[in-house]
Structure 1
Amino acid sequence: MTSRVRRAGGFALVGTLALAAPALGAAAAAPFVAVALLAAFVVTEGRLFELFARPGDHEDGQLNGLAGFALAATGLALLTTVPREEFRMPATVFATSVLVLSYGNLTEQVVRTQSDDPFPRVAGFAGGGFLAGSLGGLAVQFAEGTALTALDAPTSAFLAATGVLVAALLRTMLFQRDDPLVMLSVGLLLWGLSALDLVVTLPEIAFALGVMFALGYASYALGTASVPGMLTGVLLGMLTIVLGGLGWFAPLIAFFGIGALSTKFKYEAKQERGVAEDNDGARGTGNVLGNAAVALVAVVGYAASPQLPVPALADLFVFAFAGSLAAAMSDTLSSEIGGLYDQPRLITTFERVPPGTDGGVTWQGEIAGVVGAGLIALIAVGLLSVSPLGALVVAAGGVGGMTVDSILGATLEGDRVGNEAVNFAATLSGAVVSVLLALLLLPAGP
C-alpha cells in the first residue's frame, strides 16, 4: 500500500466521524475540533504524523492538511446545530459533503496506483465518493429515526451524485491542499438543493446518472470534451433531468451534441484557416459554463418557483432556458459553419476582415445561426409545451444572442474580455430577449 493510499485512508476515517452527527446533536462539531487541535498542536512527529502528513507538512512540523480538512468539516457541522430549523443544514447534507470528498479521494488514490490516466482516476473518485455519500446519507437518516422502509434513497443518491461531480470538477482546477474549500463549496451547494424540497424517484435518478455518464464518457473518448468539460456537462445534464425533466434535457443535449459535431466538422480545414477551436475542439469547463450556465440557473429557478412569491415565474424560466440555449446553438453554428467561408464582414462596420476575426460574420454563418435557433425553438414546442408564437419568441432570443456575441466580439473580445465571458453574455442576452418578448406578446403560460 502506497503512502498516498494510506494517507487517503486516514482522511477517510476522519471523514467517517460525520456519521456521528445525529447522535452528538449540538456537539456534532466536537470530533472535528478535536482532530484539528491535535493536528495543529499535538501530533508533530511519529507514525501518526507520517500517516497524515502531506509533502508541505514536514517543513512546517504540523499537519496543516488534516487541520484544514477538520476545520472545514467543523464549519459545516456547526451549521447543523443552528437553533432555528429553517436556517439549519440537514445532517444528511453535512455527512454527504464530507464523505464524497474523503472517500472519493481514497478510491482515486487506489486507482492511481494502477493508472495515471485522468479519466480512470476521475471515475474512481466519482464511484467511491458517490457510494460513500449515498450510503452515508441513508445511515444518517436511519440514525435520525427514519424507518428502513421510509429511507429516501433517491434523494440521497441525487445529493451524493451532485456532490461528487462538483467535488471532482473543483479538484481538476484546484490543488489537493484546497480540499477544505472543495468540501465547503459542496456542502453549501447541497444545502441549497435540499432546500428545494425535491421529489426524486429512483428510476429518474438512475436514468439521469446512466445516460449522463454514458454521454460523458462518449464525449471524452471522441475528443469533444476534456475531463473537466466532461464533468461539467455530466453535472449540468443530471441537474437538468432531475430539476426540470426530460423535456428540459432534450434542448440541452441537442446543443451539446450538434455543437460538438459542428466543431469537429471539417476541423482540419478550420485549422488551416486559423478558425478552429483549441485543444482539438475539446470543450473545457469554461466553454461549457459560458454556454450553459444561464440555462442551469433557469432550471434551478424553475424548480424553486413553487416556493417563490410569484409561482407564475415558472413560465418565464422556461423561456429563459430555451432562449439561452437557442443563443448558444445559434452562435456555435454561426461560428463553426461561417468560419469555413471567405470574405467575412465586421458586424459593426461591414468592412471585410480576415477569417477568424472576432466579430466577423458571413451570410452563410448567419443562416446557420438562424437554423440553430429555430431547431431549439422546435424542440421547445414539442417538449416544453411552448406555443408556435412562443417558438418564434425563443428563436428571436437565439438570433438576438448570436448578434450580441458578434457585436461584443467586434468591440470588446480580446485582451480585455475572453471568449467564455462573451458566450455567457450572449446566452444571457438570449434569455433576456426571450423573456421580454414573452411578457409583451404572449398570454400567461408558455
Structure 2
Amino acid sequence: MRASGTLDTVNRPLRRAGAYALLSLLALAAPTLGRLAAVPFAAVAVAAYFVTDGRAFDLFAYPWDERAGRLETLLGFSLAATGLSVVYSVGSFDLPLAVYVATLLAVGFGDLGRVLALDSVEDEAAGAAGFGVLGFAAATAGQLAVAQSRPAIAVFLAASGVLLAALLRSVFTEKDDPLVILSVALLLWLFADLHPDVGAVRVGVAIAATVVFGYLSYATGAASVAGMLTGVFLGLLAVVLGGYGWFVVLMAFFGVGGLSTKFRYDEKTDRGVAEGNSGARGTGNVLGNSAAALAALLLYAASPGLPVPSDVFLFAFAASVATALADTLSSEIGGLYGPPRLITTLEPVDPGTDGAVTWQGELAGLAGAALIALLALALTPLDAVDAVVVLVGGIAGMTMDSLAGATIEGDRLGNQSVNFLATLTGGVAGGLLALAFGLA
C-alpha cells in the first residue's frame, strides 16, 4: 500500500512546484553534457515510471497521479524534456541552447511562481502574474548563465516563452506539460531563427507597455485572464518585431473595441446581442480578431528571406486590424439599433441574427476602419494613399464578415472562425491592393 501523509498537506502544492522547478534546472547541464544532455531527464522518466509510493511519490504526485497510482505528470514532463534535449543535442536539428533552456525554466519556475502567488491571493490573475514574474526571471537568468543570447534577445525570448506558457496553463493543467513545453519550444525556435535586431530599450518598453495595457484590460473587465495574456503577448510581438507604431495600431483595436463592448451593455443584453462573459473577451475572441495580424507581423519579420516586399505585410497588418475594429464597432454599435436587415437579402431579421446589419452599424464600422487607417498614416511609413488602401481593406473585411455570417456561420463555422476569415480577407485585400498599385 502506498505511504501517505508523509508531507505537510498544507505546503504540499508548494513543495511539489518547487520540485518540478528544481528538475527543470537540469537543462543548465546541457552545455557540459553535450550529446548526453538527455540522460538526466531520461533517468527521471525511468524513475517516474517505476516509483509508485513513498516520499518521492508524495513529493511529485498530483491528485490525478494518486488516483492512477503512477507519476504520470512527472513522466510526461521528463519525457518532454528528454525529447527536447535530444533535439538540442543532435546537431542536425540546430535547436538553439537558449531556446532549450528558456523553455524548460519558463515552465518549471512559472508553475512555482503561480503556486506562490495563489498561496497568498486566491485569484486567477494573481496566479498568472506569479507565473509570469518568476518564469520570466528564471528563463532570462538561465539563458544568460549559459551565455547563449544577447541580453535583449534573452529577455525577449523569456518574455515570449513565459507569456505563451502562462496562456496555455490557463487552459491546460500540469498533466498537459508535454503540449505546453513543445508549443513554447517551437515558438521560441521560430523567434530565434528570425534574428530580430532589437535593443534592450525597445524590449523593455514593449514589456512595460504591454503589461500595463493588459492589466487595464483585465481591471476594466474588457478581457478575461486568458484574453489579457493573449493581448499582452500580441502587443509584445508588435513592438519587438514591428515597431511602436504597429503596437499603437493593435492596441487601438483592443482599447476601442473593448470600450464599445461595454457601451450600453445592459441594453444590448436585453436585446440579446451582448457579448458573453460580461463583455470580457477571451483567447478565442482575441485570436479570432488578431491571428491574421499576427501572421502578417511574423511574415514582416521574416521578409528579408521572402520574395515579397516587406511593406506588403505592413499593409496586410493594418488592414486586418482595421477589419477587426470595423467589425467590432459595427456589431457593438449596430446592435443597439434596428430593425437589422440580412445583408444578402435586405429583409428585416431579429436582432443578433448572423449576417444582419444596420446603417448605424455600417457607419460605426467605417469610422473604426478610418481610425486605424489614420493611426497607420500617423505612426508608420504609410502615406495618405496607403491609408486609403488600409481603409478599403478594412471595409472589405467587414463586408466579408457579414456575408459569411449570413451564409456559412452556424453549422459550418463558429463566430471566431468567421472573425478570422474576415480579418484574413481584409489583410489579403490590403496587401494585394498595395502590390497592384505599386505602393509596396
1:14 positional shift: 0.9
Find the aligned partners of 1:425 and 1:80 in 2 and give their Cα distance.
Answer: 37
- The farther-off stretch of 432-441 and 19-28 is 432-441
Q: 1:290 and 2:288 equivalent?
A: yes
Partner of 1:23: 32
Partner of 1:148: none
Q: 1:431 and 2:427 equivalent?
A: yes
Partner of 2:58: 50
1:357 counterpart SS class: coil
2:170 counterpart SS class: helix
Find the partner of 1:115 among 118, 121, 137.
121
Partner of 1:35: 44
Find the partner of 2:250 among 247, 252, 262.
252
Find the aligned partners of 1:380 and 1:442 in 2 and give their Cα distance.
Answer: 18
Find the aligned partners of 2:265 and 2:74 in 1 and give their Cα distance.
Answer: 47
Structure 1 residues 96-111: aligned runs within 5 Å: 96-111=102-117
One-letter identity of the residue aligned with 2:304: P
Deviation >4 Å, runs of 4+: none
Partner of 2:17: 8
Q: 1:138 and 2:147 equivalent?
A: no
Find the aligned partners of 1:442 and 1:247 in 2 and give their Cα distance.
Answer: 22
Q: Does the CA-based 8 Å contact 1:325-1:398 persist in structure 2? A: yes
| Superimposed CA distance per residue, residues 393-440 of structure 1 (whole angstroms, 9 cap, x where no aligned partner) | 111110010001001111122243211111000000001111221122
1:83 positional shift: 2.6
Find the aligned partners of 2:197 and 2:115 in 1 and give their Cα distance.
Answer: 35
Find the partner of 1:276 among 274, 277, 283.
274
1:195 counterpart SS class: helix
Find the partner of 2:95 among 89, 94, 98.
89
Find the aligned partners of 1:366 and 1:442 in 2 and give their Cα distance.
Answer: 29
- The farther-off stretch of 393-402 and 375-384 is 375-384
- The farther-off stretch of 412-421 and 349-358 is 412-421
Structure 1 residues 112-191: aligned runs within 5 Å: 112-141=118-147, 152-191=150-189
Find the aligned partners of 1:358 and 1:58 in 2 and give their Cα distance.
Answer: 47
Q: Does the CA-based 8 Å contact 1:390-1:442 persist in structure 2? A: no
Find the partner of 1:226 among 224, 227, 248.
224
Residues 442 and 387 from structure 1, CA distance in 2 versus in 1: closer, same or farther, beyond 3 angstroms? farther
Partner of 2:355: 359
Find the aligned partners of 2:407 and 2:282 in 1 and give their Cα distance.
Answer: 25
Partner of 1:394: 390
Find the partner of 1:320 among 306, 316, 320.
316
Partner of 2:298: 300
Find the aligned partners of 1:73 and 1:284 in 2 and give their Cα distance.
Answer: 30
Q: Which runs of 5+ in 1 are unaligned?
A: 145-150
1:124 positional shift: 0.5
Find the aligned partners of 1:412 and 1:334 in 2 and give their Cα distance.
Answer: 19
One-letter identity of the residue aligned with 1:356: G
Q: Which runs of 5+ in 2 are unaligned?
A: 1-9
2:146 counterpart SS class: helix
Partner of 1:75: 83
Name the % identity. 54
- Give the RMSD, CA atoms, in angstroms: 1.3
Find the aligned partners of 1:321 and 1:355 in 2 and give their Cα distance.
Answer: 31
1:53 positional shift: 1.5
Q: TM-score, normalised by structure 1?
A: 0.94
Structure 1 residues 401-420: aligned runs within 5 Å: 401-420=397-416
Find the aligned partners of 2:53 and 2:208 in 1 and give their Cα distance.
Answer: 46
Find the aligned partners of 2:374 and 2:142 in 1 and give their Cα distance.
Answer: 43
Q: How many equivalent pairs are there?
A: 431
Find the aligned partners of 2:133 and 2:71 in 1 and give their Cα distance.
Answer: 28
One-letter identity of the residue aligned with 2:44: V
1:62 positional shift: 2.6
1:60 positional shift: 3.6
1:134 counterpart SS class: helix
Find the aligned partners of 1:425 and 1:53 in 2 and give their Cα distance.
Answer: 43
1:32 counterpart SS class: helix
1:113 counterpart SS class: helix
| Superimposed CA distance per residue, residues 129-165 of structure 1 (whole angstroms, 9 cap, x where no aligned partner) | 0000000010111xx6xxxxxx611111111111111
One-letter identity of the residue aligned with 1:90: P
Find the aligned partners of 1:435 and 1:421 in 2 and give their Cα distance.
Answer: 21
Find the aligned partners of 2:91 and 2:235 in 1 and give their Cα distance.
Answer: 36
Q: 1:194 and 2:203 equivalent?
A: no
One-letter identity of the residue aligned with 1:202: A
